[in-house]
Chains A and B, each alone.
Chain A
Amino acid sequence: MLKITNLKASLEEEDKQILKGIDLEIGEGEVHAIMGPNGSGKSTTSYVLSGKGGYVVDEGSATLDGVDLLDMEPEERAAAGLFLAFQYPVEIPGVGNMTFLRTAVNSQRKARGEEELNAAEFLKLVREKAKSLKIDADMLKRPVNVGFSGGEKKRNEILQMAMLEPKMCILDETDSGLDVDAMKLVAEGVNALRDGKRSFLVITHYQRLLDHIKPDVVHIMSAGKIIKTGGPELALEVEHNGYADLLNEVA
């Protein structure tokens, strides 16, 4: 599904390399987690993959089902099936959540040569998905993320994911700013999308999200590289001992 090979990337503004050679392969239907201390390059990985401006790829490749992601515009990557759930979902005053969702869904369908959803079809679909995420009609009517609580913003991300039905989902610290109940709700939303085909990359600081979204593989990232890969037990180890031991082990 997603194959990252020796990916090196720098900040455009300053001559500073953040990613220093990432190798990662996620198979169909797999859930991988990336953990690591602050500043290790976890979020940068998600930005470079989804095409955020301000980064320069120095070396390496990233492909989704064999298609080169790094050469595409963000909207093309999305249409190809990549989705990033933002750590800080952006507030957009003046753009209605519904309008945004419908434009996004239909833009992707159009880009893939599929038929666009009409208003009625779309409404039915969005209501159904919103209900399971406990997103009420009022939240759908409001401008994108404006006045949403932290939990509402994250649920809104998962709603977008559910509507867009991507192949490959990257969740960037989706647990940050969530209380236990909100986290459970978000995790349930994610788990509902696990169908054996869709793949996930879950970026997190803490093991607790992984109690709810069980990963197949856990990677530890530090200083722009993946320094260790293992099963779910690796996340527990981090939870108990912190990153220090692991970092020493590698050094």
Chain B
Amino acid sequence: MALTEKLADATEALITAYPAPQGEGKWATDARSNALATLRENGAPTRRDEYWKFTNPSTLIGTASSAAIMHAEEKPVFDDIDKLLVVFVDGVYRADLSDDLTIEGAAIETLQDAMAKDIHWAKDVYGVLEANGQSPVSRPLAALNTATATEGLVIHVTGKVSKPVAIRYVRQNTDTDVMVHHAVKLEEGADITVLENGPAAARFNSCLEVDVADTASFHHARAQGRDHERCAATHMFARLGKESSFKSFTLTVNGALTRNEAVIEFTGDDAMASVSGACAGDGAFHHDDTVFITHDAVNCESRQVFKKVLRNGATGVFQGKILVQQIAQKTDGYQIAQGLLLDDDSNFLAKPELEIYADDVICSHGSTVGAVDETALFYLTSRGVPKAEAQDMLVLAFMDEGIQEIEDEAIADDIRERLGAWVERRRD
């Protein structure tokens, strides 16, 4: 069988594995059929694709693992933060466990409710940003998500929302294969913080599309759940207007396979975006951050800051691209991805890319990989700090540059606490 036929078969198998939603409004049906067409055109991901070289997509598209062990969290991340809580159990929205969705400055609906309507503002966001993000690099699992996801939130932000909307993914069954899709539209000057936490499912596919209008601000922090054998493919698509800002941070501890994609496009001048993350992996852990930032406007700043601590054969992957179009003068692009290997068995694979067509830009990128700094370790121990504790301090310090990208101190401190506990649990 020819390669193309094989791929077509794999793609059809993927499509048939997920039932097509029925009885939805016209806009939803259109969005889904567009996504299906994209998926058929690009095909399911394979190891031969350039951006899947470091991460094997087969576990993300084959039969979902049924044995993924569930981890009981003592206390959910962001629990102490004043928030509007929205709970999904095994990928299904649960009104009984969630706060009332009414909040000043935003209209929050479930995706299901929005899709039932014939006309909805979400038609300008849902599947639209995702479709924009399909070139030059295809993202088949995102297209699949758009085509089939029935759970999620659609949030229309018109003002400054006083507290974060915190989405909590609870996992109850072992063999869950879950898809969630959120669409957020911020009007001019609007401001919202969205938090996500929890393991969601044995296999999780999520999409978050964020349309940030001029002068609006979107803040996002998430903690991917601690279930050891879970796997996840997440996608973020953002479009940024003039003088807007977008900040997203991801904490990942545990999980067998995590692929986090972020696709950001600057369409208005003087905007800023930051995509950052800290991950800590032990053993069977593969973590992939794939970021694509397009500067298509003047004087925008983008930052990518990723820190990965790896031990016992864990693997960290970073693929980050900054594309600066010809009109995007005065672009300031910063990209750093660093791996801290706590032993010789772990791996950090990095592929930083810059593609620049404008001549008046500052773009810097750095990828480093190394072990714990012996000189710093000696300095700390010479002051009486026990070696294990000193190493923990250095590991946390290493990840802190990523955490510093979070604007809200309470959120940042919650993340620090989680990482501190992780590090402490794994003392030699």
Could you tell me which A residues sit within 8 Å of B by CB distance? Answer: 50-53, 73-75, 77-79, 83-84, 86, 89-90, 92-95, 99-100, 103-105, 107-108, 111, 143, 160, 164
Contacts and interface: CB of A to CB of B under 8 A. Distances in A.
B394 A92 contact: yes
Interface in B375-408: 375-376, 378-387, 389-390, 393-394, 396-401
A104 B383 CA distance: 6
Contacts of B374: 53
B385 A53 contact: no
A100 B401 contact: no
Contacts of A50: 382
Contacts of B383: 75, 78, 100, 104, 107, 160, 164
Contact of B397 (A74, A78, A92, A105): A92
A5 to B, nearest CB: 23
Minimum-distance CB pairs A-B, first 3: A94-B397, A78-B384, A108-B384
B384 A52 contact: no
A107 B382 contact: no
Nearest to B379: A90
A89 B387 contact: no
Nearest to B374: A53
A202 to B, nearest CB: 17
From B374, B393, B398, B401, residue with most partner A Cβ within 10 Å: B393
Contacts of A92: 376, 379-380, 393-394, 397
A94 B401 contact: yes
Contacts of B380: 92, 95, 100, 104
B407 to A, nearest CB: 18
A73 B397 contact: no
A195 to B, nearest CB: 20
Given A51-B378, A92-B394, A95-B394, 17 more contacts: A53-B374, A83-B382, A90-B375, A94-B396, A94-B399, A94-B400, A95-B397, A100-B383, A100-B385, A100-B393, A103-B389, A104-B380, A107-B383, A107-B384, A107-B386, A108-B384, A164-B383
Given A92-B376, A94-B398, A94-B401, A74 B382 contact: yes
From B382, B386, B397, B400, residue with most partner A Cβ within 10 Å: B382
A86 B379 contact: yes
A11 to B, nearest CB: 15
16 contacts: A51-B382, A52-B382, A74-B387, A75-B381, A75-B387, A90-B379, A93-B397, A93-B401, A94-B401, A95-B396, A100-B380, A103-B385, A104-B380, A105-B384, A107-B389, A164-B384
B379 A89 contact: yes
Contacts of B385: 75, 100, 103-104, 107
Contacts of A86: 379
Interface of B: 374-376, 378-387, 389-390, 393-394, 396-401
A90 B390 CA distance: 14
B331 to A, nearest CB: 26
Given A73-B387, A75-B387, A107-B386, A95 B393 contact: yes
Contacts of B399: 94
A164 B385 CA distance: 12
Contacts of B401: 93-94
Nearest to A47: B378
A125 B399 CA distance: 30
A111 B383 CA distance: 12
A40 to B, nearest CB: 22
A241 to B, nearest CB: 35
A78 B381 contact: yes
Contact of B393 (A73, A84, A103): A103
B382 to A, nearest CB: 5
Nearest to A111: B384
A93 B395 CA distance: 11
Nearest to A92: B376
A103 B420 CA distance: 14
Given A93-B401, A107-B386, A164-B384, A74 B394 contact: no
A92 B386 CA distance: 17
A208 B390 CA distance: 36
Contacts of B386: 75, 107, 111
A75 B374 CA distance: 14
A73 B382 CA distance: 9
A105 B383 CA distance: 8
A84 B382 CA distance: 7
Contacts of B396: 94-95
Given A92-B376, A94-B400, A103-B389, A78 B382 contact: yes
Nearest to A105: B384
Contacts of A90: 375-376, 378-379
A111 to B, nearest CB: 7
A52 B393 CA distance: 19
Given A53-B374, A90-B375, A95-B393, A73 B381 contact: yes
Contacts of A89: 379
Contacts of B376: 90, 92
Contact of B381 (A74, A94, A105, A143): A74
A79 B396 CA distance: 24
Contacts of B381: 51, 73-75, 78
Contacts of B384: 75, 78-79, 104-105, 107-108, 111, 164
A74 B374 CA distance: 13
B290 to A, nearest CB: 26
A18 B394 CA distance: 31
Contact of B378 (A74, A104, A105, A111): A74
B299 to A, nearest CB: 28
